[in-house]
Structure 1
C-alpha cells in the first residue's frame, strides 16, 4: 500500500498516538483476511433458508468464482512479490499466510457442506436431482454410457506418463483426471500414472431426458460420466485409483511499461500465455489417494497448504449451468423490472438536458437512457463528435454498436479502451479492432495506469455554438452488470462539468498535463489530495465545536493515507459512517483511534458497486460520485474521476437512496468489529425489518408479478 507521508503527516502523528494509547501498533486489518470475510458474507446468503433455492446455489457459485480470482490474482501477486524481493506484500503486523490458508480451507469446507447437506437435498425434494454414478438406476446408467461413448470418449486423449510422454501442460482451472494403473502397457512397461484432460468444449452439467427423470429433472456432471467409465479407456490395465483435479494459476497479465511499443500487440501475446501461469492452488476430490495428490503437488510445485480436498466437483462454478436449465419461478427471486425515468419519456434527450440534469440509479432504474444517449448522438446530424471511456462492456453491447454506427456516419468518435481490464482483455481488444476498422480514433489510456473512469461526452452544434453533453458514472458500460450492480449515473449539460470532462479526454489522448479542473477530482493527480483535504476539513470543523460528518460508500477501503486521515478525523470528533462492501483495512470502534467510526457491509440480491462520498461541510452537504474505491491502486495507479452532484434535488436523492437506507439496513447489513469480525444486523424486538435494496426496488423499480 502507498502512503503519502508529506500530505498526511498530521494524520499519521494522531494515529500513532492513538495506537500507542491502545497498546497496539497494528492499526490496520489484513487485506486478504478481509476479502475472505467478504466471501463468508456471500456464503451466508447461500445458507439463508429465506432466500429461494436456486439463488442460494448461485451464491455458492459466486463464492467459488470469487475464490478463483482471489487465488489467481491476490495470492498469486503475493507469491510473485515474495519471489522478487523476499518480503511479504501485506500490511504491517498482518496475519501470516498460514492464517489465510486456514481461513480459505474453512471457507471451502463449509461451502461444500452447504452444497451437500442443504442445497442438493432440498433441490431433490423439488424433484431436481444431481446424480452420482452410484445413485443412478439401470436405465440412467445405460443412457450415461451411451452418452459417454457417443459424445465424450471420441474427444478424450489419455496420456500415459513416461520419458516420451511427459506430464502434460495443464490449463488454468481446467478439469483433469489423474489415474493410477496396475499391470503393464501394450509395450510391456509398467507405466503407473496417466493424465486425462476433460474436453473444454463439452458441457460440465448434463441433463438427462425427461423419460429418465421420474417426472422431475435429473442431471449428472461430466466428471461423474468420465469417472464411471474411466476404466474403459485403459484396456488390459487395472485402475487402482483416480481423482479429478484442477489447478489454479497466476492470471495477472504483465507488460513491460518501458519496453512495450504497441500495447494491444503485447497484450495479445500475453493472453496466449495466461492459461499457463505459475500454479497457485490445487483442488482434488475428497477421496483422492494421498500419494496421487502428493505427486500432483510435486508436478505443480505447490506446497501442501494450498491443496484442497473437495467433496464434490472441483469447479463448483459450473453448477450455475444446472440453475440455468431450471425455470421454476418459486425457486428464484421474484422478477424485477427497472423503471424508466418519466422525465426522459417526453422530448429529445438533448432538449431535456438543456433544462435539467438527470440522475440514474441502477439497477432500480433502467440503463437504457445511457444507451439512448449515445444512440441519439450517433443518429443526430447536429452531433459532431462522441468521446467515451470503456473499461468493461462485454462481448455484446448495443452501446458499442452505437459508437460504431456513429463512426460509420462520419462523426468524430474517440474511444479510450482499457485493454488491461482484468478478464475482459479479449473482449476489449475485439471492440478496439472493430472501432478502428470504421475509422474511430482508439487509444488505450496511459501505459502503466488503468483507465477506470466512466465518462462519455457528446459535442453538438447548436444555435449558440458547440454544446457539450456528458454522462458520468460509477459503473461500467456493461449491458449485463447494469442489471445486477448498484450504480449511479449522471447525464448533464452543465458547462462547469462538461468542460472538465472534455479536459480529461484531452489529457488521455494527448498525454499533456491536465489543466486545473473546476469540479472533477482526477486520479492520479488530485483525487487523493482532495479526499484528504475534505476529510481534514471535517476534522477542523469538529475541532471548532461544530458537527463534523462523513458518510462514504465504496467497494474497498485499503489506502493507508486515507485510513490515517479518517482516524485523525475520528479523534477530532467527526462522526463517520463507512459502507464498504468488500475488503476493509480500517479498524472501527477502537478507543482513542476510531471510536467515532462505524463500518458496515451490505450483501444482498444486487452487488453493491456505487461509490458515494458525503461531507457535511458546514451544511454545504458536498456529495461526490466516483469510479474509485479508497485503495492505493485507484488513487495513484489509475485514471479515476470523482464528480460532484451540483443539483440540490439530485443531491438529496443520492443521500436518500444511496446512503441513508444502507445505514438503516438490518436485513442485509453486516457490521465490522475492531477485531476484523463481522456480525449480521437483524431486527430486534418489535423493530421492523429494513432492507435497503428491497426498499429501493419498491420505490424506484417496477416489480413484475410472478
Structure 2
C-alpha cells in the first residue's frame, strides 16, 4: 500500500469489461434473436464512444512512451489487447451464431457470393439508381492528396491499374443512403432478405472504376478523438463557440483504424501511415467494418417471436389519471419508477402548468432531450401565454451538443430565458420547478429525477423521479436555479446535496458515520446503486468503512475501480453488475445504521466528474413507505437476481451469477417488475 491508497482497478479495462457483459446478452439463448443482434450492435456503438472519448489519452501515452501514472504505454497495450479480443468475439458471434440462427428463421443478410442472378441484377440496378450518383472516388496523386476522412465514415480503399500505372483511390460511402436495404418479396422466396450498403458497393466497384482494373480493395473506417475543446473562460458566446467546434469534431486525431480481414498488408500499412497510427490501433474484422449500423435490421425485420414482447409503461398506481396532478401533489410526495410507470405523468404536469392561468413561472434543466418535441412545444406555448420560462440548457452534453443548441435557439427565439449553467461545470441535475399563485402566496411544485427529460429513454432506462410540493425541497431547488443563472454562492442547504459543493462530502460523512456505528459493535449496512464508481475519495471512504466492519453492497452497472480483494475488507464489500433488457440508470444511496435509515436518490454517479465538475443533485427520501418501496424494487431485488447479475471477484473480473434451479430476474421474464406493472 502506497500513501495509504491501495492499487485500484483500471477504469478503461473496467469499461471494456462492462461491454463484454453487454455482449453476453447477444449470446443469451432465452433472448429473442433480433434482440440479441440489437445488443451486439449496441456494443459497437459503445466501443465507438469508448475510442472517441477514452482511447485518445491511452494512445497519447503509448506514442509518448509514458511509463508513470494511471495511463501509460503499458496500460494502452493492455486496453488495446482487451478491445481486440472483444471485437473478435463480437464478429465470431455475428458470423457463427446470430446470422446462421436468423437464416433458419427466414431472415437473411445476403452477401454477394450467395445471391441469385435475379438478386444480383436487382442490387446492380439499385446501385446505379440510388448509390452511384453519390460516389466520387478520389484518385491519389500530387494534385489529389489523401482526402479528409470524417470520423466513423464508411470508406473503401481501392488499388487500381490504368494501363501500366497503378493508383490508389479512396471512395466514401454516402451517409444519405440506408445502410440496410430489403430485397423485394419477388426475390425473397417468402422469406426476409436484406443487403448491406457495404455489400452493394463492394459488388459494383467495377462500375465505379469503369476503364480500370481493380487489383485489391477493402472497406475501412477511422475513429477519431471526439471530445470538444472549448475554453469557457475565453469565449464570449458559448453556444456559437460550441457550434464552431462541432464542425471540427469529425476530424480530430485518429485513434482506431478498422479494415476488413482480407485487406492486404500494404494497404493497411498505407492507411496506418496516413492516420499516424501504430499497429495496435489496426482492427481487422471479419465482416462489415461497422456492425453498429446493422441496428436497423431488428427494426426492419418482422417476426414477433424474434423480438421482446412489447412492454407498455403503466400510469402510476398512486396518481389518479383524470385529476389535476398539481392538486394531488398538494397532499403528499408522489414517486414514479420508470420505465415501469409512464413518463407521460411529467408531460401532463408540464401541460397542466402551461394551461393553468395561476402558474406564473416554469423553470427546467435540459441535459439530453431526444427527438420528442412535446416538451419543447409546451415550453414555447408557456412563453406565448405570458409565463416566465427559464431553461438551463447544458450545451456540453457529450454527443447531444447540436440537439441542445437547437433547443436553446428555438426557446430563445420565442422569448424564453435560456442560460447555459455555471462556467466550467456541466449541469447534470434533473429538475423542474413550477411557481403558482395561490391566494396571497406563491407555491412551488417540483419534479426531481435520476434520469433525463427524454421521453424515449424513459421507456428503456430504469429511473426514479418524485413529484413534490415540500416547501423545504422546492425552496432549495429555487436556490439551485438562482445559482445556475447568477453563479452567486448557494445558501446553506439542509435537505438537498449539491455537487460540486456538498454531495461528495455528504456521502463521505455518511460513510464515516457508518464507520463509527460499526466500531461500536452496532449493525451498519450500506447499499448503493449507480452506473459507475470511479471517484477515488469515495472509493477510499468505502474501503475504510468496510475495514471498520460496515457491510456494503454495491450495484454498479458499468466501470468500477474498487478492488474487492483487499485482505482488510474480509469480504464486507460486494460488487455486482446487473445487465439486461433495460439500461440500469437509477442512483440510490441507502444507509441503515443501528436501525436508523437514510436514503437519497440522485442524478449523480460516484465519479470524479460528477462530484467535482458537474452540478448534480441528491434528494432525501424520508417517508418510510417510499424507502421500503425503493429498497425492494431498486436494491433488494438486484441483490437476489440470479439471471442478469454479475459478481466482481478477487481477480478484478466479473463472473455470471446463474441459478438454473431458482432463476430470478430483476428485469427479465422471470419474477420481474415488468410483470408486476402490467395491467391486471
The interval holding the TM-score normalised by the smaller chain is over 0.9
Query: TM-score, with normalisation over the residues of structure 1?
Result: 0.93
Q: Deviations over 1:306-340 (max 9, x none)?
A: 10011111110111111111131100011111110
In the alignment, does 2:132 pair up with 1:153?
Answer: yes
Cα deviations by residue, 1:410-448 (Å, 9 ceiling, x for unpaired): 100000000000111111011101111111100001121
What's the counterpart of residue 592 of structure 1?
A: 568
Which of these residues, 503, 507, 524, is aligned with residue 531 of structure 1?
A: 507
> Residue 517 of structure 1 corresponds to which residue in structure 2?
493
Distance in structure 2 (CA, Å) of the matches to 1:432 and 1:573: 50
Change in 2 beyond 3 A, CA 1:639/1:693: farther
Q: How many angstroms apart in 1 are the aligned matches of 2:665 and 2:156?
A: 48
Task: Give the conservation status (yes or no) of the 8 Å contact 1:171–1:276.
Answer: yes
Residue in 1 aligned with 2:188? 213
CA distance in 2, matches of 1:488, 1:88: 41
Corresponding residue number in structure 2 for 1:268: 243
Q: Are the aligned partners of 1:78 and 1:88 in contact in 2 as well (CA < 8 Å)?
A: no
Question: What residue number does 1:568 align with?
Answer: 544
What per-residue deviation string (whole Å, max 9, x for no partner) do you get for residues 36-75 of structure 1? 1000100100011111000000000000000000000011
Q: Partners in 1 of 2:675 and 2:600 — Cα distance?
A: 23
| CA displacement 1:206-247 (0-9 Å, x = unmatched) | 111000001001111111111111122223321110000000
Matched, 1:300 2:275: yes
Spell out the pairing of 1:613-624 with structure 2 (5 A cutoff): 613-624=589-600
Unaligned runs of 5+ in 1: 1-14, 20-24
Counterpart check, 1:329 vs 2:320: no
Are the aligned partners of 2:363 and 2:391 in contact in 1 as well (CA < 8 Å)? yes
Return closer, same or farther for 1:83/1:431 CA change in 2, 3 Å cut-off.
farther
Gap change, CA 1:303 and 1:353, over 3 Å in 2? same
Q: What number of residue pairs does the alignment pair up?
A: 678
Please tell me whether residue 101 in structure 1 is matched to residue 86 in structure 2: no
Question: Do the aligned partners of 2:582 and 2:667 also contact (CA within 8 Å) in 1?
Answer: no
Counterpart of 1:175 (choices 135, 138, 154) is 154
- C-alpha distance in structure 2 between counterparts of 1:116 and 1:407, whole Å: 54
Distance in 2, matches of 1:419 and 1:85, equals 35
Q: SS of the counterpart of 2:567?
A: coil
SS at match of 1:621: strand
> Within 5 A, what are the aligned runs for 1:240-259?
240-259=215-234
Change (3 A) 1:190 1:220: same
Instruction: Give me the whole-angstrom Cα distance separating, in 1, the residues matched to 2:594 and 2:446.
Output: 30
User: 1:503 and 1:82 mapped to 2: Cα distance?
Assistant: 46
Give, in whole Å, the separation in 1 of the partners of 2:322 and 2:206: 68
Deviation at 1:121, TM superposition (A): 0.5
Shift of residue 687, structure 1, vs aligned partner: 3.3
Check if 1:358 corresponds to 2:328: no
Are the structure 2 counterparts of residues 529 and 108 from structure 1 closer, same or farther at C-alpha, using a change threshold of 3 Å?
Answer: same
* 2:65/2:73 contact within 8 Å kept: no
Q: 2:389, 2:417 within 8 Å by CA — same for their partners in 1? A: yes
Match of 2:349 among 373, 376, 394: 373
Aligned mates of 2:379, 2:622 — CA distance in 1: 29
Greater mean alpha carbon deviation, residues 515-524 or residues 613-622: 613-622
CA separation in 2, counterparts of 1:176 and 1:224?
A: 12
Tell me by how many angstroms 1:85 deviates: 11
Aligned to 2:118: 139
Distance 1:577 1:514, change over 3 A: same
Residue aligning to 1:3: none
Ranges in structure 2 where 5+ consecutive residues have no aligned partner: none
Shift of 1:674: 2.1
Q: Would the alpha carbon gap of residues 89 and 497 (structure 1) be closer, same or farther in structure 2, given more than 3 Å must change?
A: farther
Secondary structure in 1 matching 2:526 = strand
The match for 1:429 among 397, 405, 424 is 405
Equivalent residue, structure 1, for 2:604: 628
Which piece of structure 1 moves more, 686-695 or 409-418?
Answer: 686-695
SS at match of 1:622: strand
* Residue number among 68, 92, 95 corresponding to 1:116 in the alignment: 95
Pick one of 207, 218, 222 that aligns with 1:232: 207
CA contact (8 A) 2:665 2:672 kept: no
Distance in 1 of aligned mates of 2:27 and 2:211: 47
User: CA 1:213/1:89 → structure 2, altered by over 3 Å: closer, same or farther?
Assistant: farther
User: Which residue of 487, 490, 497 maps to 2:463?
Assistant: 487
Instruction: Report if the CA contact (8 A) 1:542-1:548 is conserved.
Output: yes
* Alignment TM-score, normalising by the size of structure 2: 0.97
Deviation, structure 1 residue 82: 7.5
| Range that drifts further, 509-518 or 319-328 | 319-328
Deviation at 1:646, TM superposition (A): 2.1
What is the CA–CA distance in structure 1 between the aligned matches of 2:282 and 2:469, rounded to whole Å? 56
**Does residue 1:406 correspond to 2:386, yes or no?**
no
Higher relative contact order (CA 8 A, sep 6+): 1
Please identify, of 391-400 and 330-339, the stretch whose mean Cα deviation from structure 2 is larger.
Answer: 391-400
8 A contact 1:181–1:241 mirrored in 2: yes
Matched, 1:382 2:358: yes
Partner SS state of residue 45, structure 2: helix
